[in-house]
Structure 1
């Protein structure tokens, strides 16, 4: 067993009104954000829920795709786990630097509730969008570390506050 726990990073794109999705799609089309997501996650481990996987329709290339689902999925290119603790039992016995939690709402909420998220990497999309999927408030437990301004969005990195 390895002594180094991976860094769990919640990565999301969110509008000013906390919308992250609408009818299993992103309510905006920002190629610059998608390119940034690809650049950051390529070569890494990504975790998503079954519905997110189904909305994408395939494993994301050049990444280790993990799907959390109680329904037992068997598809080429993905690893499926019924629960977060079972997945943690596997990942934390391997040498992995970063694990990206790519959503959506239920998966984000579970990882936040279990206090497993070490960092939040957020693409802040200007404007208000219609949506049915929202990102829960996380800011009180995280502190802003870095802000990058892109042409179409702002990319903000947060780190979990150290509680004394």
Structure 2
């Protein structure tokens, strides 16, 4: 492996970490800043994809503020754990990666799933060109199930 590839991999890992930290802080502006100008955030399960940082920030904000089941409280904390980051392909102009995530809230393990990512270099950072989120399951007492 050459030095440029190590630098690319570490830059991609930083973007994954920045996204995770922003999500846990509910900092939607910082989360949206992890996406390129024409990036697509896609969810399995029929939700419309969000295109571009402004739409990503607005769409996630609307989803977080949307209607909830009367008996289900809001979580007081959210912690994402990302594991098994696998670089599918690494080139100087495009990286494909996959990983698994689990999310913990007040109830413990809340939900879990997979990320499938494509990142591209933008100035001095690597940003998402696309992120596909597949939630594989929710705990029966999930605070975040929609």
Settle same-fold status: TM greater than 0.5. no
Between the two structures, name the one with larger relative contact order (CA 8 Å, sep ≥ 6).
1
TM-score of the pair, normalised by structure 1: 0.24
TM-score of the pair, normalised by structure 2: 0.26
